[in-house]
């Protein structure tokens, strides 16, 4: 059975087979989690993401973790900008980020997610956490053969951790 947990940590140092990057559509780095992951992984990550040709909202693509010693792979997923579509469409696109990331990581033992779209993309954390937890639980129920033993929701702050724990 797969465990779903929440913790407060720096995702670039969090020990997990796979970490998820809340990327922009170019996949070439940016602010927030995306910038931190690109800085921690080093210039080879930029070279690798250039070859991926970007991604659409809800898509997920995988690279090596390069300079991030605590992970083997990075999954880059593009969350929705909260105000760019209806709340229902935003929720579905956010759910796609989690589903597509989990599908790429199914043969690994662990995956760690940041709070996708909750930074500059403006998604309210409590709503995003509800989508994340519901989607992860549904995906795990539909994929009992996954190798994933642990899915971790990584909070940036203690306040964010309380919101994620409430959603769990």
Neighbours of 55 (CB within 10 A): 19
Residue 122 φ/ψ region, left for φ over 0, alpha for ψ in the -120 to 50 degree band, beta for the rest: left
* Alpha carbon distances (Å) from 47 to 42, 53, 105, 113: 10, 11, 22, 23
Annotated domain spans of the chain: 3-167
Considering the candidates 34, 64, 107, 160, report the single residue annotated as catalytic. 34
Structure tokens at 123: 């998604």
pLDDT of residue 102: 98
Phi, psi of 143 (to 5 degrees): -130, 65
Longest dimension (CA), the chain: 39
Residue 23 φ/ψ region, left for φ over 0, alpha for ψ in the -120 to 50 degree band, beta for the rest: beta
Q: What's the rounded mean pLDDT across residues 145-160?
A: 97
| Residue 62 CB-half CA count within 13 A | 17
Q: Residue 63 — very low, low, confident or very high, per pLDDT cuts 50/70/90?
A: very high
Q: What's the rounded mean pLDDT across residues 37-50?
A: 97
The predicted model scores a pTM of: 0.97
Question: Position of tokens 């809800």?
Answer: 58
Cβ-Cβ contacts under 8 Å for 97 (sequence gap 6 or more): 58, 60, 77, 78, 79, 116, 117
Active site residue 34: yes
Q: What's the rounded mean pLDDT across residues 109-137?
A: 97
Q: Residue 5 — very low, low, confident or very high, per pLDDT cuts 50/70/90?
A: very high
* Distance (Å, whole) CA 78 – CA 57: 5
Q: Residue 19 — very low, low, confident or very high, per pLDDT cuts 50/70/90?
A: very high
Q: What's the rounded mean pLDDT across residues 142-163?
A: 97
* Distance (Å, whole) CA 153 – CA 168: 10
pLDDT of residue 22: 97
CATH number corresponding to 3-167: 3.40.220.10
Question: Position of tokens 């992951």?
Answer: 37
Q: What's the rounded mean pLDDT across residues 110-138?
A: 97
Q: What's the rounded mean pLDDT across residues 119-143?
A: 97
Q: What's the rounded mean pLDDT across residues 100-116?
A: 98
Compute the mean pLDDT over every residue in the chain, rounded to the nearest whole number: 97
């Amino acid at each position: 059975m797969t465990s779903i947990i929440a913790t407060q940590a720096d995702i670039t140092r969090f020990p997990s087979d796979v970490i998820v990057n809340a990327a922009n559509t170019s996949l070439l780095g940016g602010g927030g989690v995306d910038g931190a992951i690109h800085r921690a992984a080093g210039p080879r990550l930029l070279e690798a993401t250039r070859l991926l040709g970007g991604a659409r909202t809800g898509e997920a693509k995988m690279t090596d973790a390069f300079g991030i010693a605590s992970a083997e792979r990075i999954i880059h997923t593009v969350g929705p900008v909260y105000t760019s579509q209806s709340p229902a469409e935003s929720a579905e696109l956010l759910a796609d980020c989690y589903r597509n990331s989990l599908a790429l990581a199914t043969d690994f033992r662990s995956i760690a997610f940041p709070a996708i779209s909750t930074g500059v993309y403006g998604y309210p954390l409590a709503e995003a956490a509800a989508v994340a937890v519901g989607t992860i639980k549904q995906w795990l129920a539909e994929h009992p053969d996954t190798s994933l033993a642990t899915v971790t929701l990584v909070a940036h702050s203690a306040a964010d951790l309380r919101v994620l724990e409430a959603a769990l």
